[in-house]
Amino acid sequence: MLGKHAGKRLIQWLLFGTAVFFSLLPDADAVPGIWFGDFAAYHNNLSHSIAASLFAAIVGAWLVRAVFGAPYVRCLVFVLLCCVTHILMDYLTVGRGVMLFWPVTSTRFQAPIKLFFGLDWSQGWRATVHFYTGANEMALIGIGWLVYRSTSKGRSAS
């Protein structure tokens, strides 16, 4: 159990890395798409569903608990939030939508208002539109960082 043997700073970085891993986990289906040269056939399908997120959270929580020693339910919520946040962001992204309720239905759902541009893989890696995607996501990261800094300053002062 890492929690009793590592410094606070190391645990924070490991927790951050764990959050990044589980936040990107729904996109693991991109690997076979790249490998087999048919991105649309594999990417953004069943891995972008609530059922897949629940499965990942149940399994992932055991791993997170083993490493950090936190209570299972806390780990479950942590992993679930990471996965579901990814799906929510894709729901709010210009594109073909997400299969939220797979395996009940393979219908793709899209938000009526889009907040993100997404990547247009058909235009290649150097497309100008990817600049807007990067700028959009950097702005989101900046807002998240400012929120984190403002809330963490309040906690450390008390």
At residue 149, the pLDDT reads: 86
Q: What are phi and psi of 116, to 5 degrees?
A: -130, 150
Which H or E run contains 108?
Answer: none
Domain shared by 130 and 110, yes or no: no
Domain shared by 102 and 67, yes or no: yes
For residue 126, the Cα-to-chain-centroid distance in whole angstroms is 24
Domain shared by 43 and 10, yes or no: yes
At residue 148, the pLDDT reads: 81
Per-residue pLDDT of the chain (158 residues; tens, 9 = 90+): 555 556 788 888 888 899 999 999 999 998 998 888 887 788 888 999 999 999 999 999 999 999 888 999 999 999 999 999 999 999 998 888 999 999 999 999 999 998 887 776 666 667 777 788 788 888 888 988 898 888 877 565 54
Q: Which domain holds residue 14?
A: 2-114
Burial class (CB in 10 A: 0-12, 13-18, 19+), 89: middle
Domain shared by 67 and 25, yes or no: yes
Query: How many whole angstroms separate alpha carbon 73 and alpha carbon 37?
Result: 39
Q: Last residue of some domain: 114, 132, 150? A: 114
How many domains would you assign to the chain?
Answer: 2
Domain shared by 79 and 18, yes or no: yes
The three-state secondary structure class of 71 is coil
Q: How many CB atoms lie within 10 A of CB 128?
A: 7
Domain shared by 12 and 80, yes or no: yes
At residue 131, the pLDDT reads: 81
Domain shared by 127 and 49, yes or no: no
Domain shared by 50 and 92, yes or no: yes
Domain shared by 7 and 79, yes or no: yes
Domain shared by 17 and 95, yes or no: yes
Domain shared by 7 and 38, yes or no: yes
* Residue 141 identity (one-letter amino acid): I
Domain shared by 90 and 128, yes or no: no
Opening angle at CA 6, ends 151 and 13, nearest 5: 45
**C-alpha distances in Å from residue 13, one per residue of 68, 82, 135, 142, 153:** 12, 16, 25, 18, 18
At residue 73, the pLDDT reads: 96
